[in-house]
């Protein structure tokens, strides 16, 4: 599942996106090494979510390229990405309320199935086999997250922390090579955040690279291999956590004002 | 999906009893068979629509287009071209599927009211076409002389015969749509209904799934239309009017989405109510309108959903359907 | 031909009134009230009954105007607002369909299935206007009333929206309902006012048109659909657009009726305009972001 050891799974270069007079993303470039965790941090409005939107095809860049495992990702529609190993979550929990936790996680592996309307409608053997495989895979993910007890709970009834974790789990079910997470720790308390950290470390260790947008600086610093700091759409710093943390430019622009807010949590 | 053990044990028995009742129905309710046939025809349409509206969350006020393709198609092919009746059902259904596939791509990107209006436009154009294209459709007086369906050499002429043929079709449709709902397709449709962007990031192409649902609804309506023409041995613009198009959606909303019994209740109520009595006929539209407003406002799961909650509270066990989240969650983003 | 166009224009004025009511309510509540078509016919038949009871036509007009403003506000309070609190917008559309059906039912029960027509507001002979080579147009006094009432209504509404504080509040609520609520606007009151105004529009439409045509319990659907199409055609939420949409629909219908029967003409006109909408979904004066996902 991993590319050649040195070759990055994702290389973004010169990504730019303007909205009217505002430059939301300004010539941003970075790489993601296989099975590593790359964090993207920056103040609100720094263009982090827009960056993900650009990579996943929800908005077109004004300039720049993105290479993912040799694919020119910018030419692909969003729904094609899971098929080549790229999956993403969103800032707000998007589990389907009227499906159970297990059913939601089964959706994560959708791109691995081939049964369509006819096969499902007629309950062809192929569809039935895929169903069983999906359910088993979903249960495996639920076990990995220690959330098996929620398997039959409706999405609408899940507590926030569980829902956020399940969103990550849903993406995991798709066995991605690269996972893009948009503020997965939002709304989680201290314990849940530590759980999430453990899960993410485990995921990376198993070979999936992660790009993580987060405000929780502690989480970011504790698990990331590389940190990208954005401010007003431009790259402020790019390096290992310790280096970024000590960077005076970063401290002045971001960490200095953010740290007290983080401690208050 | 795990049903409660009692549910799993009861299922085959309930199915058996239901099947027995359905098979015996024409004898249990003599004189009502005509109504039963009409109910079955519309049940077929509504079951198909449920995949589009109940599962994919898209409204279609224009199912009469496909009803007309099926009905006029079968009529014209048998009367004017002398085709065998079974073929004259299959081919219009394929045409309906193709039309839905093309229209779906264009329409199903539209939001809310604009989709409603666009599909209403289909209903309006259908009515206009059926009334105006006199040389093709026979104009306002319709197409007469449509033969009865003939299957395996037998002519399906009587009310009872039609009842049984349609019973098989409805059972197939119910089975097919329930399989869709319980399968990965149903889950994908639920994801697309809830959040198309998130669905895309799971590898689900919203356009493809919405269009697929539209095609299912179109084929169901077309087959129903063909059988309607064979049963009445006649088809006219009144049968595919805008009022009928609206009533199809109403029947689904009234009965409740994502079930089989819901559509059955909705169709039975709307088709059966006018027949209660001559004196009632005057009050029927008023009562029907008020019932619709009340059910839509206070019973989010439709009549069937309301009944199930009632039974659950009385029997004091969790209301079970395969998708357990299928009840009012207070989440206003819930479309149906 | 000119006569036909003129007739269509008059019909269009009526559609415009219906569409304005719908668009106004939509802008505040984001719900399309299809029952508006039903209220138009109800207003018409109430007017006829009042006239039959000896009330002078212009007095009847005022009575119906005030009465229906109150009625629509009451309907919002009793039926639509409770529903809106509980269910999403797609189901609300069906609720208004149910309401439309109920009004038709009420009309059937009270007035039966006969067609009705009323007395014009002012007595007078029709006069003819000639336009040289284009032919002549025969104008009935009631038709002038219809145009005049549309103008007065639209100008009054525009004046209200643009020059009064209430109007400003309404426009703010229309563009950002959530923000308006946060700022402390009593959106429920604004809703009531919007519905009241749309009730007045329905009353004007019904009372003004019944002297020159026959209406009955099932004409409701036709006005509902026409109003809906006109409102969307003009761009949902745009008053000016609703007027334009209504007039356009009326004229197109008139042109078609030259070549086909009147019911087919109506249906064909609607079909054509919906087709146009597919090309420009936001309508004539509407905004494109509202439309596509």
* Contact (CB, 8 A) for C226 and C15: yes
Q: Residues 103..132 of C with a Cβ closer than 8 Å to B: which?
A: 103-106, 108-109
Query: Could you tell me which residue, A55 or C133, shows the higher pLDDT?
Result: A55
Which residues of chain C have a CB within 8 Å of the CB of B284?
Answer: 105
Q: Do B296 and C94 touch (CB under 8 A)?
A: yes
A228 band by pLDDT with thresholds 50, 70 and 90: very high
B4: pLDDT strictly greater than 80: no
Q: Inter-chain contact A122–B191, Cβ cutoff 8 Å?
A: no
Is B177 an 8 Å CB contact of chain A? Answer: yes
Question: Which residues from chain C sit within 8 angstroms of residue B238, using beta carbons?
Answer: none
Tell me which of B83 and B280 has the higher pLDDT: B83
Neighbors of chain A with 3 or more C-beta pairs under 8 Å: B
Q: How confident is the model at residue A92 (pLDDT cuts 50, 70, 90)?
A: confident
Residue-range domains of chain B with CATH: 19-268 (1.10.3470)
The interface pTM score, or ipTM, of the predicted complex is: 0.89
Give the pLDDT of residue B3. Answer: 41
Model confidence over A28-39: pLDDT tens digits?
Answer: 999 999 999 999
The pLDDT value given to residue B6: 46
> Does the CB of B274 have a partner CB in chain C at under 8 Å?
no
Residue C257 has what pLDDT? 83
What's the rounded mean pLDDT across residues A250-261?
61
Query: What is the per-residue pLDDT for A136?
Result: 95
Q: Do C87 and B297 touch (CB under 8 A)?
A: yes
Higher pLDDT, A160 or B280: A160
In this model, does residue C190 exceed pLDDT 50? yes
Q: CA-based diameter of chain A, in Å?
A: 64
Residue A257 has pLDDT above 60, yes or no: no
B336 touches chain C (CB under 8 A): yes
Q: What does the pLDDT average to over B80-101?
A: 95
Q: Give pLDDT tens digits for A2-24.
A: 445 578 999 999 999 998 888 88
Which residue did the predictor score with more confidence, A91 or B86? B86
Nearest residue, CB atoms, A96 vs list B179, B194, B324: B194
Domains in chain C, start-ordered, CATH in brackets?
A: 2-292 (1.10.3470)
Of the residues C27, C101, C224, C234, the best mutation for testing chain B's interface (the one with the most B CB atoms within 10 Å of its CB) is C101
Most A CBs within 10 Å, among B322, B325, B327, B332, to test the A interface: B325
* Average pLDDT across chain A, whole number: 88
Cα angle vertex C257, ends C256, C262, to 5°?
A: 125
**Strand A86-88 vs strand A178-182: parallel, antiparallel, or unpaired?**
parallel
* DSSP notation for chain A: ----TTS-SEEEEEEEEEETTEEEEEEEEEEE-TT-EEEEE-STTSSHHHHHHHHTTSS--SEEEEEETTEEGGGS-GGGHHHHTEEE--SS----TTSBHHHHHHHHTGGG----HHHHHTT-HHHHHHHHHHHHHHHHHHHHTT-GGGTTSBGGGS-HHHHHHHHHHHHHTT--SEEEEESTTTT--HHHHHHHHHHHHHHHHTT-EEEEE-S-HHHHHHH-SEEEEEETTEEEEEE-HHHHHH-HHHIIIIIHHHHHHHHT-
Model pLDDT for residues B126-174, shown as the tens digit of each residue: 988 898 888 888 888 888 889 888 888 888 899 999 999 999 999 999 9
Angle between helices B33-50 and B159-182 (to 10 degrees): 20
Give yes or no for residue A116 having a pLDDT over 50: yes
Residues in chain B with CB shorter than 8 Å from the CB of A116 are 185, 212
Interface of A with B in 85-114 (CB under 8 A): 87-90, 94, 96-100, 103, 106-108, 110-111, 113
pLDDT (mean) for B313-317: 73
Instruction: Among A58-62, A77-81, A237-241, B28-32, name the one with the lowest average pLDDT.
Output: B28-32
Decide: A236 and A230 in contact? Cβ < 8 Å.
yes
Percent of chain B with pLDDT over 70: 90
Nearest CB among B59, B120, B293 relative to C98 is that of: B293
* Residue C196: predicted pLDDT: 95
pLDDT at B5: 43
How much of chain C exceeds pLDDT 70, in percent? 94
Candidate from A94, A127, A156 with C-beta closest to B183 = A127
Q: Which residue has the higher pLDDT, C271 or B205?
A: B205
> What's the rounded Cα separation, in Å, for the pair C203 and C210?
11
Distance from C-alpha of B208 to C-alpha of A80, rounded to nearest angstrom: 12
- pLDDT at position B332 is 37
Q: Does A172 lie at the interface with B, CB-CB under 8 angstroms?
A: no
Taking only the tens place, the pLDDT of each residue in C123-170 is 777 777 776 666 677 888 888 888 898 999 999 998 988 888 888 888
| Cβ pair B296:C228 closer than 8 A | no
Q: Considering only residues 225 to 244 of chain C, which have any Cβ-Cβ distance to chain B shorter than 8 Å? A: 225, 228-229, 232, 236
Q: Mean of the per-residue pLDDT values for chain C? A: 86
CA dist., res. C14 & res. C149, Å (int): 10
Q: Which of C37, C76, C88 to mutate to test the interface with B (most CBs of B within 10 A)?
A: C88
Residue of C35, C98, C111 for testing the chain B interface, max B β-carbons within 10 Å: C98
- By C-alpha distance, the chain B residue nearest A58 is B197
- pLDDT value at position A179? 95
- Half-sphere exposure at residue B74, Cβ-oriented, CA atoms within 13 angstroms: 33
**Contact between chains at C264 and B246 (C-beta distance less than 8 A):** no
Q: Which chains contact C through at least 3 pairs of Cβ atoms less than 8 Å apart?
A: B
- Residue of chain B whose alpha carbon sits nearest to that of A169: B202
Rounded distance between C-alpha atoms, residue B246 and residue C35, angstroms:
14
Chain B residue with minimal CA distance to C231? Answer: B117
Contacts of A81 in chain B (CB under 8 A): 201, 203
- Using the predicted structure, report yes or no on whether residue A254 has a pLDDT greater than 80: no
C102/B290 touch (CB, cutoff 8 Å), yes or no: yes
Query: How many residues are given for chain B?
Result: 336
pLDDT at B30: 84
What pLDDT, on a 0 to 100 scale, did the predictor assign at position A265?
A: 41
- Span A135-157, pLDDT tens digits: 999 999 999 999 999 999 999 99
Inspect the interface and report whether the beta carbons of B113 and C260 lie closer than 8 Å: no
Please give the average per-residue pLDDT across B294-314, as a whole number.
88
Q: How confident is the model at residue A208 (pLDDT cuts 50, 70, 90)?
A: very high
- Where are any strands of DSSP class E within C61-143? 127-130, 136-139
Residues from chain C contacting residue B198 (CB–CB below 8 Å): none
Q: What is the pTM of this model?
A: 0.88
Average pLDDT over residues C95-117: 91
> By the CB < 8 Å criterion, does B198 face chain A?
yes
Q: Does C213 touch chain B (CB under 8 A)?
A: no
B185 touches A at CB < 8 Å:
yes
Q: Of the ranges A47-51, B41-45, B322-326, C246-250, which one carries the lowest mean pLDDT score?
A: B322-326
Name the minimum distance, in Å, from the CA of A180 to any CA of chain B.
Answer: 10
Can you give the pLDDT at residue C139?
82
Whether residue B86 is predicted with pLDDT greater than 90 in this model: the reply is yes
Mean pLDDT for B298-307 is 89
User: Which region among A71-85, A249-263, C190-204 has the lowest average model confidence (pLDDT)?
Assistant: A249-263
pLDDT in tens, B101-123: 999 988 888 877 778 888 988 99
Contacts of A77 in chain B (CB under 8 A): 200, 205
């Amino acid at each position: 599942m991993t590319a050649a050891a040195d070759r990055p799974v994702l290389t973004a270069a010169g990504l730019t996106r303007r909205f009217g007079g505002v430059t939301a993303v300004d010539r941003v470039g970075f790489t993601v090494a296989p099975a590593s965790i790359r964090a993207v941090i920056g103040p609100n409005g720094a263009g982090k979510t827009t960056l993900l939107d650009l990579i996943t095809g929800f908005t077109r860049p004004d300039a720049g390229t993105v290479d993912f495992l040799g694919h020119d990702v910018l030419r692909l529609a969003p729904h094609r990405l899971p098929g080549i190993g790229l999956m993403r979550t969103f800032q707000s929990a998007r589990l389907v309320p009227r499906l159970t936790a297990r059913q939601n996680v089964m959706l994560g592996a959708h791109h691995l199935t081939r049964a369509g309307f006819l096969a499902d409608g007629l309950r062809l053997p192929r569809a039935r086999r895929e169903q069983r495989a999906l359910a088993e895979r979903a249960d495996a993910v639920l076990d990995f997250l220690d959330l098996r007890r929620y398997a039959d709970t409706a999405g609408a009834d899940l507590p926030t922390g569980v829902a956020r974790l399940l969103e990550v789990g849903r993406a995991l079910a798709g066995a991605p090579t690269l996972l893009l997470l948009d503020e997965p720790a939002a709304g989680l308390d201290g314990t849940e955040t530590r759980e999430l950290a453990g899960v993410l470390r485990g995921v990376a260790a198993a070979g999936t690279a992660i790009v993580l947008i987060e405000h929780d600086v502690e989480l970011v610093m504790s698990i990331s291999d590389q940190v990208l700091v954005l401010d007003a759409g431009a790259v402020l710093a790019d390096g290992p956590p310790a280096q970024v943390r000590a960077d005076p430019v970063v401290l002045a622009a971001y960490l200095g004002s953010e740290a007290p807010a983080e401690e208050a949590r | 999906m795990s049903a409660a053990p009692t549910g799993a044990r009861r299922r085959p028995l309930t199915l058996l009893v239901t099947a027995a009742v359905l098979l015996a129905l024409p004898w249990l309710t003599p004189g009502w068979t005509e109504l039963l046939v009409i109910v079955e025809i519309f049940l077929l349409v509504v079951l198909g629509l449920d995949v589009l509206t109940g599962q994919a969350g898209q409204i279609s006020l224009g199912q009469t287009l496909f009803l007309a393709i099926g009905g006029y198609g079968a009529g014209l092919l048998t009367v004017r071209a002398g085709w065998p009746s079974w073929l004259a059902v299959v081919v219009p259904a394929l045409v309906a599927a193709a039309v839905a596939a093309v229209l779906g791509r264009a329409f199903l990107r539209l939001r809310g009211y604009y989709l409603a209006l666009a599909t209403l436009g289909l209903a309006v154009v259908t009515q206009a076409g059926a009334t105006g294209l006199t040389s093709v459709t026979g104009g306002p007086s319709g197409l007469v002389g449509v033969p009865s369906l003939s299957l395996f050499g037998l002519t399906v002429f009587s009310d009872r015969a039609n009842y049984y043929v349609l019973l098989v079709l409805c059972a197939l449709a119910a089975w097919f749509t329930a399989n869709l709902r319980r399968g990965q397709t149903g889950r994908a449709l639920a994801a697309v209904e809830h959040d198309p962007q998130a669905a895309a990031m799971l590898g689900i192409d919203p356009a493809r799934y919405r269009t697929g649902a539209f095609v299912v609804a179109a084929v169901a309506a077309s087959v129903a239309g063909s059988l309607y023409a064979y049963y009445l041995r006649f088809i006219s613009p009144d049968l595919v009017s805008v009022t009928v198009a609206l009533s199809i959606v109403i029947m689904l909303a009234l009965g409740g989405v994502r079930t089989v019994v819901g559509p059955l209740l909705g169709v039975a109520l709307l088709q059966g109510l006018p027949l209660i009595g001559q004196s009632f006929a005057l009050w029927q539209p008023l009562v029907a309108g008020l019932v619709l407003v009340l059910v839509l406002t206070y019973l989010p799961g439709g009549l069937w959903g309301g009944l199930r909650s009632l039974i659950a509270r009385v029997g004091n066990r969790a209301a079970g359907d395969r998708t357990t989240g299928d009840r009012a969650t207070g989440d206003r983003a819930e479309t149906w | 031909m000119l006569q036909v166009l003129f007739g269509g224009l008059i019909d269009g004025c009526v559609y415009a009134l219906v569409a304005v009511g719908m668009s106004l309510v939509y802008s505040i509540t984001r719900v399309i009230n299809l029952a508006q078509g039903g209220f138009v016919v109800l207003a018409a038949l109430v007017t006829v009954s009042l006239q039959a009871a000896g009330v002078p036509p212009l007095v009847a007009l005022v009575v119906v105007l005030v009465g229906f403003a109150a009625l629509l506000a009451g309907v919002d309070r009793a039926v639509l607002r409770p529903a809106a609190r509980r269910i999403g917008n797609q189901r609300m559309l069906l609720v208004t369909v149910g309401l439309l059906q109920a009004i038709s039912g009420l009309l059937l029960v009270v007035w039966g299935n006969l067609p009705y027509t009323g007395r014009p507001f002012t007595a007078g002979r029709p006069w003819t206007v000639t336009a040289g080579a284009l032919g002549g147009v025969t104008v009935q006094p009631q038709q002038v009333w219809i145009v005049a009432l549309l103008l007065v209504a639209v100008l009054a509404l525009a004046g209200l929206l643009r020059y009064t504080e209430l109007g400003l509040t309404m426009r703010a609520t229309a563009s950002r309902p959530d923000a308006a609520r946060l700022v402390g606007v009593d959106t429920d009151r604004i809703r009531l006012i919007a519905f009241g105004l749309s009730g007045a529009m329905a009353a004007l439409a019904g009372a003004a048109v019944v002297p020159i045509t026959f209406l009955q319990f099932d004409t409701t659907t036709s006005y509902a659909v026409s109003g809906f199409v006109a409102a969307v055609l003009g761009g949902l939420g745009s008053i000016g657009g609703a007027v334009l949409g209504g007039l356009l629909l009326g004229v197109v219908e008139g042109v078609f009726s030259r070549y086909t029967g009147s019911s087919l003409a109506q249906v064909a006109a609607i079909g054509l305009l919906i087709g146009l909408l597919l090309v420009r979904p936001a309508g004539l004066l509407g905004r494109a972001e509202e439309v596509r996902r």
